[in-house]
Amino acid sequence: MGAPIAPVTVRPDVRLETAPMSPVSCDTCGAAVEARKSSWEQTSIQWHAADVERCLERRAAMPPRIEGTLFAGCVSLRQALAKAVERGDLPVLADD
């Protein structure tokens, strides 16, 4: 389409330089996500497309292609994250 496409660059979160995301899998569906906990109450979760498809709660809550419906999050994954913290697989920054 004429003009060359500028290279697409996306800057990473500066906070990840010192404390990156950690891989965690859900015990229920096996979805693999990356997570980061700033504190017990503060969590980031990065999903990937295939794992969103795998999530059972998501499937139950949200038939695809309904506009405007919000899936607030997966309770099973939340529990899996808590267990990962207990196992020491998911660091909690505020505890350092």
Partner 1 sequence: MTTAPDIPRQIEADPIAQRYARGWHCLGLSQDFRDGQPHQVLAFGTKLVVWEDSDGELRVLDAFCRHMGGDLSQGTVKDGNIACPFHDWRWGGDGRCKQIPYSRRVPLRARTSAWPTLDQDGMLFVWNDPQGNPPIAEQAIPKIPGASSDEWTDWHWYSIKIDGSNCREIVDNVVDMAHFFYVHYSMPTYFKNIFEGHVATQVMNGTDRGDVAVPSDDGSTLLAVKSTASYFGPSFMIDDLVYEYDTGNFESILINCHYPVDTDSFVLQYGIIVKKPQGVSDEYASASAATMGDFIKTGFEQDVAIWQNKARIDNPLLCEEDGPVYQLRRWYQQFYTDVDAVLPEMTERFEFELDMTRPAEAWSQEVAENIARAAENESV
Give the C-alpha separation, 74 to 31, whole Å.
Answer: 11
Is 5 a binding residue for partner 1 by CB under 8 A? The answer is yes
Among 24, 29, 43, 80, binds partner 1 (CB under 8 A): 43
Is 20 a binding residue for partner 1 by CB under 8 A? The answer is no
Give the C-alpha separation, 63 to 37, whole Å.
Answer: 29
Is 24 a binding residue for partner 1 by CB under 8 A? The answer is no
Give the C-alpha separation, 35 to 45, whole Å.
Answer: 5
* Number of residues written out for the chain: 96
User: Using CB under 8 A as the criterion, which residues of the chain lie in contact with partner 1 when the complex forms?
Assistant: 1, 5-6, 8, 10-15, 38-49, 52, 65, 67-68, 70-73, 93-94
